[in-house]
Amino acid sequence: GAGVSQSPRYKVAKRGQDVALRCDPISGHVSLFWYQQALGQGPEFLTYFQNEAQLDKSGLPSDRFFAERPEGSVSTLKIQRTQQEDSAVYLCASSLDGRASEQFFGPGTRLTVL
């Protein structure tokens, strides 16, 4: 069965470049979450979608971070003018309805900014 997939799995960017990270959630899952995980830390919440609506973006660290889910399925996390501190693993998760239910995580995209 298809789980959550993310692409690319690894991305190396030069400082100042823009990057786009893709997440394909489990089919039929209403809720989609993005998390950022720095080395040695637990994942930290970035943003949440319910279908195509972005209901919470309180975790986005700066206005260089932008996420969308235009058709309520695939989501893209875009980081503009990347900085070294953006280097992390970006995890996407989906859940059936988001109401206090379990989340299914993708493998993550490891972003390294040089």
Partner 1 sequence: SQQGEEDPQALSIQEGENATMNCSYKTSINNLQWYRQNSGRGLVHLILIRSNEREKHSGRLRVTLDTSKKSSSLLITASRAADTASYFCAPIEDSGYSTLTFGKGTMLLVSP
Residues of this chain that interact with partner 1 (CB under 8 A) are 31, 33, 35, 40-45, 48, 50, 55-56, 59, 91, 93, 98-108
Minimum CB separation of residue 57 from partner 1 in Å reads: 11
* Closer of 46 and 82 to partner 1 (Cβ): 46
Please enumerate, as own/partner, the contacts of 83-90 that have beta carbons within 8 Å and a separation of 24 or more: 83/15, 83/113, 84/15, 84/113, 84/114, 85/113, 86/111, 86/113, 87/111, 87/112, 87/113, 88/36, 88/37, 88/38, 88/39, 89/36, 89/37, 90/6, 90/21, 90/34, 90/35, 90/36, 90/37, 90/46
Minimum CB separation of residue 102 from partner 1 in Å reads: 4
* Closer of 2 and 100 to partner 1 (Cβ): 100
